[in-house]
Structure formats: structure tokens, C-alpha cells
A = this chain, B = another copy of it.
Amino acid sequence: MNHKPLKPGEEVTQAALSADASLGFIGHVETPWKTLADCPKRADPDGPVSLVVVDPPWDRALLGVGDFAWIELYLWFHEARRDLLVIAPGHAEGLRGVFSVRSPVRPNPIAVTTVRLLGIEGNTLRVAGLEALDGTPLLDIKPGRCPVL
């Protein structure tokens, strides 16, 4: 995987992350964002329509999801590097531990994003406000608690 070169002061660990549990992808998202550079920094709940495709047998677990106006998508940021400890974020001065920023770069690159649910047809959800890369694997869907505006 091609990673951006480290900036001064950034720190990585050489210790291999252990494999303590496994994730199964239950589907994927289809978005207008074809490269990481295309992805918006923040989701726009009035942004373009994206699709969330849920593979069988998990599409059966969508029963009742249509009752919600907002849902949380749990995504796996498969292109993120996992060895960074301290980064120099673009939006702030100085150095920050990865646990003090919401960067996608982290040991377990799980992203949770709240999107507006527009409709469901079969195993496919139409949503607005998704800022993830096209093809990002899907881990989970939960009813949204509150829109993040």
C-alpha cells in the first residue's frame, strides 16, 4: 500500500498489531468518491446520493431499518495505515496522538458515520451524507441516535 511520507515528528510503531478478532464484511458502499483525495472531510447530509449494498444473508437483518430517518454506518477503512502513533494533523498546530484526532489513520480503522436514509429497495439502501471512498467495506448498520449537523 502506498502511504504518504511521514512528516517531521510523526511516530510509527514497529510492533505488529496482533490479530485478536476477525471482522466479516457484510456488504459495501457505492459513492461518488473514487479516490481518497475526492472524499469530503465532513459528510454533508444534503450531499449526493450513495448506495449501501448489504450482502445475503445479512440483508434479512434490515427488517425495520426503514423506520429510521438517520442511520449509522460502520465502515472499514481498508486503505488506512495502522502503525501511526503520533501525527501532525493538517488542521492544527503541533503533534497529536492518533487517539486525540478523528483521522482515519488508526490501529483499527473503523469509521462510524451518520447518514440520512432516503429509501430501501431489496438489499440496497439509498443514503445522503456519506463521505467514504467508493467500495469501502461495510461492517454494521445501527439506528441513528441524532443527526450530526
Contacts and interface: CB of A to CB of B under 8 A. Distances in A.
Interface of A: 11, 13, 15, 17-26, 54, 57-58, 60-65, 67-68, 74, 76, 78, 82, 84-86, 95-102, 106-108, 110, 112, 137, 139-143, 145-146, 148
A112 to B, nearest CB: 6
A81 to B, nearest CB: 13
Summarize A's interface: helix, strand, loop or mixed. mixed
A41 to B, nearest CB: 14
B65 A140 contact: no
A130 to B, nearest CB: 16
A96 B64 contact: yes
